Amino acid sequence: MAISFNETNKVFKLDAGASTYAFMIEPNGYVAHLYYGPEVASDAFAYLYRPMERAFSPAAPGTTAPESRDVILQEFGTNGVGDFHAPSIIVRQGNGHTVTDFKYRSHQIRKGKPALPGLPATFGSDDDVDTLELSLYDEASDVEILLRYSAFRKYNAIARSVQVVNHSAETVHLEKIASAALDFADGLLDLIHLPGAWARERSVERHPVNHSRTVLESVRGLSSHQQNPFFALATPETTERNGEIFGAALLYSGNFAAEIELDQFNQLRAQIGINERTFEWTLAPGESFTAPEVLLVYSRDGIGGMSRTFHDMFRNHLIRSYWKDLKRPILVNNWEATYFDFDAKKLLSIARDAADLGIEMLVLDDGWFGRRNDDRSSLGDWFVNEEKLDGGLGKLVKEVNQLGLKFGLWFEPEMISRESELFRAHPDWCLHVPGRGASEGRNQLVLDMSRPEVVDYLYETICKVLDSANIEYIKWDANRHLTEVGSAVMPADRQKEVSHRYVLGMYELHERLLKRYPKLLIEGCSGGGGRFDAGMLYYVPQIWTSDDTDAIERLKIQYGTSLVYPCSTMGAHISDCPNHQTGRINPFATRGYVALSGTFGYELDLNKMNDEERAEIRKQVAAYHKYNHLVAQGDLYRLTDPFNPGTVVVIWEHAAKDGSEALVTMVQPRNVPNGQLFRVRLCGLDPAGVYKEEKSGVCYTGEMLMNAGLNVPRYERDGAGELFHFVRI
């Protein structure tokens, strides 16, 4: 098995791929972290346990000063007994106190990996993964925490989750619960994270940790554009290709917080979980609470090695969709072509052009329901606006299908308009706080997804629409963040549960729809990439990466997203120019090069394309069918960094896992007169293999391409680009 326990030295050892994770039961009953890094065959890690003399730190009851919780690396930080770092758990008991003192009680090791009720989680067979469940118990409060570790045998990946159980005869209140904590003996590391904004999601930021507590968080109700529920810690010398890095991705789509704290001994605690600012949970006697899962990844092959492990784990052990290993249909979305101004005739005109050009799906975006002619009404009224679509969706979809196209539809299930039949019937169904006004974003309010009757209503009305026509795709949008987070049906002392219950309700709706329509392709969206997280990938195989479709901006957005998430999950489309978000004009071909590294589609009016553009679309469609297997299933290598001001040409590579072929994409964001001449070294090839470049016919050995490199052309205009396809002969 990948997990073992040495009864003599009390060491637990987890071997995940080529990495090892180890901790021990201390003589005093606490659980101390020992090691996380490259694979080690031995389990003789107990020598790393190091109490510290003269630390000026109080000792917990039953321990001595050198064993203070303030100086010993731990698996899960306790509260109020001498550990002055950010605690991993806070439990308020009936006496009002929050002191807890969790010690080892028991453990179980078994094959496979259990699911988490109502939450996304990685999965694997008995041959893929082993799981340790470690019970820690606080005698005074009669509360137990179950720490679960699942080690994947083929990958440097460990999934962790936590369950809290109230065994006492009184109600307790869970005020904070991290999903995983990592303590490092040498904490002089660099923090890498993904801040951003709407239309500028997941920029890459890196800086040394310092002697303070850094918090990366969202309190917006969604994982957010502003921070992603991910962080990595790397040794200062780590680069894209070399060095050690530890990554943590939270499988959760709501408010989160990651805390990174370097202490007085240069020891570091990093943890991530639900954000305590907007959370509390009441546990009556006998009740339990399960926190979301965290996926930990270790790499000694640099940032790129970490990314490729996350990609493989998500593709093989998180995404469940019928579509996960299938080529996604090329779609055209009508939004930027028509906005709200459309009818069946206009849509069918776009569909006819799409069929002629080889596009495979028409997606009808906002404006098809209720009395929706602008963004001020009808959210929640999920019935067809027959003034626009005479004969309803059934007639339209049938005609689209007769043209050889699939049909998709936009929904925004979690939102409600004041001007809607639903709001008039159920004004208390929106999130609100009595006696206060309700903030609006995009002229809309948010439905209280914590209420079962709201979830039931949405399920029933969406099913009625899906049953009315052959709808094979949904774009699921959420165009505002949560404010006045209160529920009309929750008691006053449980209102801080609403944010988490909202997320659970949203997950439940996804789960119910997928059980009823297992072949339905759902694309997640939240004002673009505002809920691009690992939790959503359990329910949807792809997410709209950003509302910014400008190809040059997408170089950074898709680069940052790829640090964690595979290209097969990134919604990436070609849009019109001047671009609707930036006003920039980019070559039509380059827009295609960038979009080909995602799920691929179009956001423009096909009726307005000239002959040259139509010919380019046909070339792009052919390229998608030829190369998508490399994008969806191959290994991604980021060869240059668009965030580096010195980068002249942005280059990335999709290589087949068997080294048989590779697709290299180059895009020059801006022209630099008399600029640099350089080569780029490729990756993932067979050194002894001979590769023919498809366009030029030139042959190279894999060793030449990976060691000597490929000459990068000089491009003469902003936004110029090129594809290179290498095939082993």
- Quote the crossing angle between the two packed helices 611-633 and 344-357, to the nearest 10°: 70
Local structure of 374: helix, strand or coil: coil
Question: Measured in Å, how far apart are the chain's first and last C-alpha atoms?
Answer: 40
Tokens 């989160």 appear where? Answer: 256
The per-residue b/e assignment along 425-460, b for 16 or more CB within 10 angstroms, e otherwise, is: ebeebbbbeeeeeeeeeebbbbbbbbbeebbebbbe
Pairwise CA distance, residues 295 & 182, whole Å = 12
Tracing tokens 């910014």 back to the chain, one arrives at: 548
Q: What are phi and psi of 516, to 5 degrees?
A: -80, -35
Residues in contact with 292: Cβ distance below 8 Å, sequence separation at least 6, in sequence order: 116, 119, 120, 161, 179, 250, 251, 252, 273, 274, 535
Catalytic option among 15, 43, 477, 548: 477
Residue 328's SS3 state is coil
621, 642, 629: which is closest to 562 by C-alpha?
A: 642
Q: Are 139 and 37 in contact (CB under 8 A)?
A: no
Peptide bond into 27 cis (omega under 30): no
The tokens for 291 are 């926190």
Specify the pairing of strand 445-446 against strand 473-476.
unpaired
Quote the CA–CA distance of 289 and 177 in Å, as a whole number: 10
| Residue that has been written with the tokens 């789509």 in this structure | 253
How many angstroms separate the CA atoms of 611 and 291, rounded? Answer: 55
* C-alpha pair distances (Å), 9 with each of 47, 63, 364: 10, 19, 63
Burial 37-55 (b: 16+ CB within 10 A, else e): eeeeeebebbebbebbeeb
Pairing of strands 103-111, 294-299: unpaired
Angle between helices 588-595 and 551-561 (to 10 degrees): 10
- Residues 128, 366, 547, 550: which is the catalytic one? 547
> Which residues does residue 173 pair with via DSSP β-bridges, in sequence order?
92, 282
- From 333, 495, 462, select the one nearest 405 (Cα to Cα): 333
Active site (annotated) includes residue 83: no
Q: If you ran DSSP here, which 8-state letter would residue 479 be given?
A: -
Query: What is the bridge-based pairing of β-strands 157-166 and 205-208?
Result: unpaired
Q: Tell me the C-alpha distance between 374 and 552, whole Å.
A: 30
**How many residues are recorded in the chain?**
729
Question: What tokens were used for 639?
Answer: 């060869």
Gap between the Cα atoms of 149 and 135, Å rounded: 12
214 has which bridge partners?
Answer: 260
Q: Is 547 part of the annotated catalytic residue set?
A: yes
- Following DSSP, what letter does each residue of 163-208 receive, concatenated? EEEE-SSS-EEEEEEEEEEEEESS---EEEE----TTS----EEEE
Instruction: Quickly tell me which residue has 């963004």 as its tokens.
Output: 375
Distance CA(356)–CA(238), nearest Å, equals 49
How distant is the alpha carbon of residue 380 from its chain centre?
27
Residue type at position 437: G
Three-state helix/strand/coil letters over 17-60: CCEEEEEEECCCCCEEEEEEEECCCCCCCHHHCCCCCCCCCCCC
Pairing of strands 190-193, 415-416: unpaired
Report the SS3 class of residue 6: strand
Give catalytic residue positions. 477, 547
